[in-house]
Chain A
């Protein structure tokens, strides 16, 4: 070859890429706060007070910080379930059901074998939660691979099945303890199987934040590791972007679809176990819709491990902060739902954000190289 070759370029653009991918969601949050403030103003209250109370309520004290984390963790884990499937091109709308299955399986084990040593029991429960969530999601994956049944339908329908199984089990079924006074709930999780509390009692006597935080961080690491550091993750992403090219590359697309769903469901299963291990009991309808809000968290977090962690914390802070805002500023907690919706709206309205950035002279950040 007589063609002169150019030197290999490796622009040190990783950091800039990271900033560029984060700037959209951050701007979306800012816009949501502004528009939300207008909503508060219109409804006759002071937005500054509202946000101040929300902020104080979310992170104003060690207790509130601990509670904010508790609100965030199931969202983060469930969002990993949504995102992992999405990386394989699957819309896992049914993290809610997978999360219920995880909660049921782990609770059943913990209440059935209350005398096992704590360390054994908790590990067995973690595994059981992941297996149950994974299997539940795996059904949808298998149906997709075998018959082409769309996962949006199947995961959604399987969610109803899982939730109703939990109603049956807890309201008059095998998991209702004999001494229950009509309250639909499971027996207690044996105390030796609890996650250790993170904050020492001299900082905060009644802190509930436990080691599931580390489990969540670990889950994020595993999420990213599988996707970016293993051939399996490569294949899952290849299937997600272009199944025809993946098949061409010798990848068994059907098998990858099932595996991706199973791994996704395992994250959701964990998400279901953690709240049970905070309340130390499985209550009927224990999830306020973690699995559904997780879809928003996954979107705002741009399907990345770190992004989802941060987005989950934000959503958790809004949820917990709303309690104080409602009590102290006398503003309806629905503002929080409006805010969450606005954040999502502005993340979705990416074109709008890009246009605003261009207006603001930040052209370099938004324009892809030609």
Chain B
């Protein structure tokens, strides 16, 4: 296939026809122009990143490629030949496969059954043995180690993703699209995925990686297409660019990727945990005796692979999960048995890790969400009646101060973008002038612009004396914000250290369960820990207690 499409000017002479070309893709939803004459060209055997802020049009573009959405204008060429993609079936026929952010797997079926689903070997009767054999061949060929007969629901997330990948490889896809594949992965699983991606490209595949994490772009891609507000904002060769340059293209202005942070001015102790134990939702012990202290003007970062008790820790402090042992002191008072409302009144604020499930009442208007937690206190409630004037006043002030868009306090929270929803949560939690804040995954799923904003806000409050417990599975976030880093593993703080002297390698090792005080772990210990990392939902329990028997 060397025929050059007529009128092709997007590439200099001498370069082969791109494997995929999307030209002038335009798609509008009502008044919103999601894609405005977007071009994308991806070379054969390339790892090509597509980046952009939330709402920049990445997902729309990929859904068009996969036939889930039909463009108003534009054309798609594979190896220089125009193709019409009316639905996923056409996309698959054209050799396009997609690994969705949310897996499309049948949990109760085996790996092999999931992989062959829709194209089962055998006649009327499913030939299970053949399916297992085919899947095993496939996984060996691409170095994707999976047990074909394991039930999917028993597998860790990272392995489930491999099953998704096997599914599209089984269908013979040559162009593999990954939608935010690392959002659900641990750092180690991410490294493994990248290894797999490199192997795939070596095996003749082409990869499109949709992401907003710049370090991943730098680590793995050859070129990067940047989208901003539905338009192309540049195509950069990774070797000749830098994260700040990509960020600038994404946001349209200079972005500080690392917030500047002065020396901490530590004050009195605001939050203290002594031997706190708590159970997970499944009734397993998730916190196995947490000791922790946060002082005024300090950010203590909890680093850890998600599922090691972080959620339970945050909820125990917030009063949303009963503790089974220990003490929680908030400004010197033992609040371990107090209800959530009392702790709030005592100066505690909490940014929950899941803004949809916990942080917001999505159908409520922005202004109503901005008073959640204060709804029955003056000035928002006076003599048992709602004081609408005060509610409006707060809403307008916070919307302005935090630049929440659209700047309409009457809009339902569900209509806001993720970044703006998170701003609503952060704005509300900071509005009551808290003494202690638990910030869990404060920038999860946010683009660089919104992340920068929230980081600055947290640093500013810390400088004003707020005690912040930061819980994050993003090591970068922990390093860039924390004064003290504490590593959580299986419901215990295994080590705490000043961030100035903290060593990334060592923290990674501790997160993976590498023993702190004893000698360095053996290779088998690390391998076991890595295996345990995946089973993120086995909170605090034995890593081998559940999952694959």
Interface, chain A (partner B; CB < 8 A): 1, 3, 5-11, 13, 228-235, 237-238, 241-242, 244-252, 367-370
Contacts and interface: CB of A to CB of B under 8 A. Distances in A.
B136 interface: no
Contacts of A11: 408, 410
A242 to B, nearest CB: 5
B523 to A, nearest CB: 42
B400 A8 contact: yes
B534 interface: no
Interface string B43-76: 0000000000000000000000000000000000
A370 B408 contact: no
A238 B373 contact: no
A10 B403 CA distance: 15
B372 A367 contact: no
Contact of B372 (A8, A233, A238): A238
B358 to A, nearest CB: 5
A248 B396 contact: no
Contacts of A241: 361-364
20 contacts: A5-B400, A8-B399, A8-B409, A9-B408, A10-B408, A10-B410, A230-B381, A231-B386, A235-B376, A241-B363, A242-B361, A242-B362, A244-B357, A244-B358, A247-B320, A248-B358, A250-B340, A250-B342, A250-B373, A368-B415
B491 interface: no
List the 9 closest A-B pairs by CB distance, nearest first: A250-B341, A231-B376, A249-B372, A370-B32, A9-B408, A231-B381, A249-B373, A6-B407, A250-B340
Nearest to A242: B361
Interface in B376-395: 376, 380-381, 384-386, 388
B386 A230 contact: yes
A93 B432 CA distance: 40
Contacts of A248: 318, 320, 340, 350, 352, 358-359, 372-373
Nearest to A225: B385
A165 to B, nearest CB: 35
Contacts of B401: 5
Given A10-B410, A252-B339, A370 B344 contact: no
Contacts of A368: 415
A5 B404 CA distance: 9
Given A245-B372, A248-B318, A230 B358 contact: no
A5 B407 contact: yes
Contacts of A251: 341, 375
A5 to B, nearest CB: 5
A250 B415 CA distance: 25
Given A231-B376, A234-B375, A370-B30, 19 more contacts: A3-B453, A5-B401, A6-B405, A7-B407, A8-B396, A8-B407, A9-B408, A233-B386, A238-B364, A242-B362, A245-B358, A248-B340, A248-B372, A249-B372, A249-B373, A251-B341, A252-B339, A369-B415, A370-B415
Contacts of B339: 250, 252
A78 B31 CA distance: 42
Interface of A is mostly: loop
A229 B407 contact: no
A367 B375 CA distance: 31
A3 B396 contact: no
A250 B384 contact: no
Contacts of B376: 231-232, 235
B162 to A, nearest CB: 32
Contacts of A7: 407
A293 B221 CA distance: 62
Nearest to A370: B32
Nearest to B357: A244
A212 B32 CA distance: 51
Nearest to B371: A234
Nearest to A4: B403
Contacts of B406: 6, 9
B415 to A, nearest CB: 6
Contacts of A1: 403
A5 B398 CA distance: 11
Contacts of B359: 245, 248
B360 interface: yes
B113 interface: no
B368 interface: yes
Contacts of A235: 375-376
Contacts of B415: 368-370
Contacts of A232: 376, 384
Contacts of B368: 234
Contacts of B409: 8, 10
B358 A231 contact: no
B409 to A, nearest CB: 7
Contacts of B318: 248
A216 to B, nearest CB: 23
A249 B30 CA distance: 35
A370 B28 CA distance: 11
A15 to B, nearest CB: 13
Nearest to B415: A369
Contact of B403 (A5, A228, A245): A5
A164 B299 CA distance: 64
Contacts of A231: 375-376, 380-381, 384-386
A319 B368 CA distance: 40
B524 to A, nearest CB: 41
Most buried by B among A7, A228, A241, A367: A241
B410 A367 contact: no
Contacts of B408: 8-11
Nearest to B456: A1
Contacts of B29: 370
